[in-house]
Amino acid sequence: MSRIAYVNGRYVPHTDASVHVEDRGYQFADGVYEVCEIRDGRIVDERRHLDRLDRSLSELSIRTPFSRRSAGMILREVIRRNRVRSGLVYLQVTRGVARRDHAFPGPEVPPSVVVTAKSVPVERGDHAASAGVKVITLPDNRWDRVDIKSVSLLPNVLAKQKAHEAGAKEAWFVDDAGLVTEGSSTNAWIVTKDGRIVTRPADHGILRGITRTVVVEAIEGEGLTLEERPFSVAEALEAKEAFITAASTIVMPVVAIDDRPIGNGHPGTIASNLRAKFHTYAEQSELVAN
Ligand code: PDD
């Protein structure tokens, strides 16, 4: 079955899906995006993802190009046409196509909208989670508005590549004070020896992950203790457990940081339980017909 993408009002074969060379996303990374998990044919936390998209657009003064209803319809149609039951749907909005000039184009230029979807077997994540993943640490060299989910991801791309070259799944960014901010595409967590779950407050230093928000609710719901505060690499190395969260990984146990084992070097019970419970706390959309 051939893949289909949505590009500016049209559903087109994935192989032909393209935007103009003067799209500002292409030339200036002048755009924002969202990634939602699709599980059992339903979009996970659609409302929260579209709320965050609105916020990102508004922070960058990009006009919201669709109503909430039509955004949902486009997501669903792309998922349906690609027959995705488990996987990811990607939504990107840029400031549109205009003759190259750093300053914003006029209001007559409509934003560009692209949606793609891909199948990812549930077993792939579960398999990774049963082994746990390794992370490396790197200096955080990003701008100070990483709370905006912008497509300007070059430091993240370079960090992820370094992680892969080191045989790790993720890179944790570390600020000038030696405190972990977040991963290149995930939020970062540890569990202290006495069972307190620690993650950095969602200020301007990190992206407020939707998975993070749901995990905060799950921690409360499960009667666990949350501490929203920064933690250092040294503290993480002494932790009982560590894990990462994102729509693409859900809760993924971390078993080594910079090649040093965390806890007993195996996925922790708190992280594994939060992974198992995650979807009972997340919002599920209605079933996408396919
Ligand atoms: N990344 N931090 C960063 C820098 C991210 O890029 C992401 C998500 C997260 C977690 O956010 P959420 O829980 O809403 O997925 C945190 C997506 C999945 C990506 O870029 O593919």
Residue 289 lies in a domain: no
Q: Are residues 131 and 20 in the same domain?
A: no
The range of the structural domain enclosing residue 53 comes to 4-120
Per-residue pLDDT, averaged over 172-176, amounts to 98
Residue 198 lies in a domain: yes
Q: 43, 50, 149, 151: which to mutate for ligand 1, most atoms within 8 A of CB?
A: 149
Q: Are residues 75 and 154 in the same domain?
A: no
Higher pLDDT, 109 or 290: 109
Question: Does residue 242's CB lie within 6 angstroms of at least one atom of ligand 1?
Answer: no
Identify the burial level of 14 via C-beta atoms within 10 angstroms of its C-beta, where 0-12 means exposed, 13-18 middle and 19 or more buried: middle
Higher pLDDT, 251 or 286: 251
Residue 226 lies in a domain: yes
Q: Are residues 137 and 106 in the same domain?
A: no
C-alpha separations of 134 from 244, 257, 267 in Å: 10, 6, 11
Q: Are residues 170 and 244 in the same domain?
A: yes
Question: Does residue 182's CB lie within 6 angstroms of at least one atom of ligand 1?
Answer: yes
User: pTM for the complete prediction?
Assistant: 0.97
Q: Are residues 95 and 138 in the same domain?
A: no
Q: Are 236 and 257 in contact (CB under 8 A)?
A: yes
Q: Are residues 105 and 188 in the same domain?
A: no
Residue 235 lies in a domain: yes
Q: Are residues 166 and 105 in the same domain?
A: no
pLDDT surpasses 90 at 247: yes
Active-site positions?
A: 149
C-alpha separations of 246 from 13, 34, 130, 178 in Å: 28, 11, 17, 23
The predicted-structure confidence for 185-236, as pLDDT tens digits, reads as follows: 999 999 999 999 999 999 889 999 999 999 999 999 999 999 999 999 999 9
pLDDT surpasses 80 at 290: no
